[in-house]
Amino acid sequence: MRICFIPIDNRPVCCSLPADIAACDTSMEFFIPPKEFIGGLNKPANIEKIYDWLHNIPAVDCTILSLDTIAYGGLIPSRRSNLSINEIQSRLEKFKTVLQNKSGKIFAFSSIMRISNNNINIEEKEYWAEYGKKIFNYSFARSKYGENSKECRNAAALIPAAVLDDYLSTRKRNFEINKLYLKWKQEGFFNLLIFSKDDTAQYGINIDEAHELQKLGADVITGADEIPLTLLARTIEKNISICPIFTEENSKNLISNYEDVSVATSVIRQAELAGFKLTSYKDADIILVINNFKEHQGEIVMKIDTEPFNGNFIPPDKPYIIADVRFANGADNAFVNTLFNQGKDKNFIAYSAWNTTANTTGSLLCITKFVYRQQNLNRKMYEKLVLTRFLDDWAYQANIRQTLKETADITNQMQPYIEKAAEFLKIPAPKCTFDYPWMRLFEINVNIEMEVKDEFNRSHTVSDSSLN
């Protein structure tokens, strides 16, 4: 199978992770633009270079397309760009012509512009540093009480008219572009089109836009960065049944941070989009273990604590994967320690605790789709993939990052975690280096040096004891 993958930006979870997942299948040809063509924190994607690159790759079976990259230059430029709607439509029409010359299916997604509840403008327009929370409050009041309500008028009065007008015009432009995509879908251009609610809450203009798009026939899901991975999983046509189980069964209907649906709904929606069949424990091929929270989701970076896992983890008696969502953006140390102390068994497949509930679940399901029952398994890439998630989500996000005030060399600090994770996975501890792709603490590159042999034991599956 040949897959073309145009990511949302050049972060490791958006570029390196999908490439590493695809590399687990030695029979797959995976085409992704060079990182220098893809947008970053302060630099939009080079669309012309991506056009040329697309022209030169062979015909593919499916294209996974992040539409924000083509329209605006990436997810963050979609909030900052001052391009007119006509300029964006012209760019999109040109890309549509280029893409039509590539055979195969097109799985695409576009974000519904987020409204972050803070005064941090690193990923927003400059005025967010002063008016971000006030814009969020305005959006919340307008959605919950109505545009002409006293609550909405009071919130609007705290924002300069020029700032609010600019924000609303940017939203309107993006919303109209999303309606254009929906028209293309109805014309048959996209085989699958998903709109994502990025960093959301229960009320907001973004929620209202999502409802409007749904009335027009759109498929909307909570999440963002993981959606290309979930769509990548969708390309793998395996009949796999899955059963979600929760460490806190009575709390599965609580809502995670940055989402507007319950943990259970978020998990189920990701599984359905990834092409899994939901079923009972008895009938499931794989058990999806969700380490969820009791009363509220913790936030390690924001110093918002929550009750950690304090039970006995009994591994399922069939292949299983673990989505650790007790904290947003980082692992639950208590759960990981319990898992490590117990030791890896033959049924363990993968673990993730990357950021939001949707991020964690979508990426985990993509890994699973590629490695479970895989007759062409690149064993070393699989080991690297699982180790990376432990080193990023557990070692760095939940531990090392909490000791840092600015970017620094963390090689020595990470070494005990590398050894502990490798011991759990029953692999030699590799040499690792780490860097900060966006020169901030939020994400790191985990660079793992692992010996790759000529033979990959291709006849084995990840549930086989030979991988222990």
pLDDT digits (tens, 9 = 90+) for 40-73: 999 999 999 999 999 999 999 999 999 999 999 9
Residue holding tokens 């649906």?
Answer: 261
Check whether 456 has a pLDDT greater than 80: no
Mean pLDDT rounded to a whole number for the chain: 94
How far is the C-alpha of 435 from the C-alpha of 442, rounded, in Å?
11
> Average of pLDDT values for 171-197?
97
| Cα dihedral 424, 318, 16, 363 sign | negative
> Average of pLDDT values for 107-111?
98
According to the model, what pLDDT value does residue 42 have? 93
Query: pLDDT-based confidence at 468, cuts 50/70/90?
Result: very low
The secondary structure of the chain in percent helix, strand, coil, rounded to multiples of 5, reads: 40, 15, 40
Enclosing H/E stretch for 356: none
How far is the C-alpha of 345 from the C-alpha of 54, rounded, in Å?
43
Check whether 464 has a pLDDT greater than 50: no
> Average of pLDDT values for 80-98?
94
> Average of pLDDT values for 323-346?
96
According to the model, what pLDDT value does residue 301 have? 84
pTM: 0.93
According to the model, what pLDDT value does residue 451 have? 66
Query: pLDDT-based confidence at 200, cuts 50/70/90?
Result: confident
pLDDT above 90: percentage of residues in the chain: 92
Backbone phi, then psi, for 110, in 5-degree steps? -135, 145
pLDDT digits (tens, 9 = 90+) for 203-228: 999 999 999 999 999 999 999 999 99
According to the model, what pLDDT value does residue 459 have? 33
> How many Cα atoms occupy the beta-carbon half-sphere of 216 within 13 Å?
21
Phi-psi region of 257 (alpha: psi -120 to 50; beta: other; left: phi over 0): beta
Q: Supply the DSSP symbol for 396.
A: I
In 75-170, beta strands by DSSP E: 105-112
Check whether 14 has a pLDDT greater than 80: yes
> Average of pLDDT values for 336-353?
97
* Residue 286: strand pairing partners: 242
455 or 93: which leads in pLDDT:
93
pLDDT digits (tens, 9 = 90+) for 365-412: 999 999 999 999 999 999 999 999 999 999 999 999 999 999 999 999
The answer for residues whose C-beta is within 8 angstroms of residue 434's C-beta and 6 or more apart is: 396, 410, 411, 414, 444, 445, 446, 447
How far is the C-alpha of 183 from the C-alpha of 195, rounded, in Å?
13
According to the model, what pLDDT value does residue 100 have? 84
According to the model, what pLDDT value does residue 208 have? 96
Query: pLDDT-based confidence at 198, cuts 50/70/90?
Result: confident
